[in-house]
Amino acid sequence: MDGALLRLDNTPPAAAPTVTSANYPANQFDQPGAPIQFTFGANGVSDVAGYSFAWLEYPAPGSPRPISDPFTGWAATVAAPTLGGSATVDLVPPFATGFASLYVSSMDRAGNSSPVTEYVFYLKPTTPSITLQGPEPKFGTQTEFQLRANADLEAQSPVTSFTVETLSDSGETTQTIPASDDGIAEFKPTIDSADESFIVSTTSADGWQSDTNWYFVNTAPTVSSSTYPENGNGGGSGVSGTFTFKPPVKGVVSYSYSFDWGSTYTTVQASPNGQAEITWTPPQSGFYDLNVYATTANGTQLLPYDYFFTVN
């Protein structure tokens, strides 16, 4: 190194990189499911040695390294095969649908970063379906649902599994259910909570995560009256009306109800088919609320229902 001069390079690449995709064109709605092929170009800068890239507000797959603004957190890098050369990466985004944005910056041999290019595109929905098989749920026994992957997503890469998150009074649980070759699975939970729901998503063979679908087990009773229709007008002061309560699930043994937001509830027994009827006479005209909830044989109090009507 006799007579050699060391030069400190503090000059970043002057031009932002070019970013193109062979299968997900910019500013368009695209079908999710296949890895996104990006090509990063040096945009005429001969000293570019590689590229940093990061999803908007998310880490990108790959070997992470910290980089400076405008990126936050961690980003991935890819080397250019030659100085000033382009590089190609295949990425699966960390989100399933909607607006997608990738930030890309080129780097020279000294690690200086160029201005940033933002590549924007849009992903169509990939929501799986949840279908109840057979009759309404029954407390304490298994209820069967069919889970089916989004057909367009399945066509891109086979769905290999479903992720089911169960939310109930007793907490949260998550399970993974393998998918059949045609993207279908059976889900057989035991309904044992008054407030139970399932959040379902899929994972494809290439790692793509779908949107989530939410199934809510509605345990509130059905209320009806011919004299005093729901959200309508009927009857009159002193005119008796019959209200029919029908069960949302099997195993209902009684109903408790209160008119006009009263704190005291009256309980009536259900018939063998789980239904009950009451007769009520309004003391005066005006707007009323009937609040009803059912109780099962094991003492589970189900969700309440508010039935609104107006007395002529």
In angstroms, how far is CA 44 from the centroid of its own chain?
42
pLDDT tens sequence across 92-131: 888 778 888 899 999 998 889 999 999 999 999 999 999 9
Flag whether 256 is in a domain: yes
Residue 312 has pLDDT above 80, yes or no: yes
Task: Say what the pLDDT of residue 125 is.
Answer: 93
Flag whether 75 is in a domain: yes
Flag whether 10 is in a domain: no
Flag whether 11 is in a domain: no
pLDDT tens sequence across 48-103: 999 999 887 544 444 333 333 333 444 688 899 999 999 999 988 887 788 888 99
Number of folded domains in the chain?
A: 3
Task: Say what the pLDDT of residue 57 is.
Answer: 53
Residue 2 has pLDDT above 60, yes or no: no
Residue 6 has pLDDT above 80, yes or no: no
**Which candidate, 176, 182, 187, places its Cα nearest to that of 215?**
187
Task: Say what the pLDDT of residue 274 is.
Answer: 94
Long-range contacts of 244-247 (CB under 8 A, 24+ apart): 244/275, 244/276, 244/277, 245/221, 245/270, 245/275, 245/276, 245/277, 245/278, 245/292, 245/294, 246/221, 246/222, 246/274, 246/275, 247/221, 247/222, 247/274, 247/275, 247/294
In angstroms, how far is CA 120 from the centroid of its own chain?
22
Provide mean pLDDT across the span 9-17.
Answer: 86
Residue 113's domain spans which residues?
18-123
What is the overall mean pLDDT for the chain? 89
Same domain, 34 and 119: yes
CATH number for position 138: 2.60.40.1930
pLDDT tens sequence across 209-261: 999 999 998 899 999 999 999 999 999 999 999 999 999 888 999 999 999 98
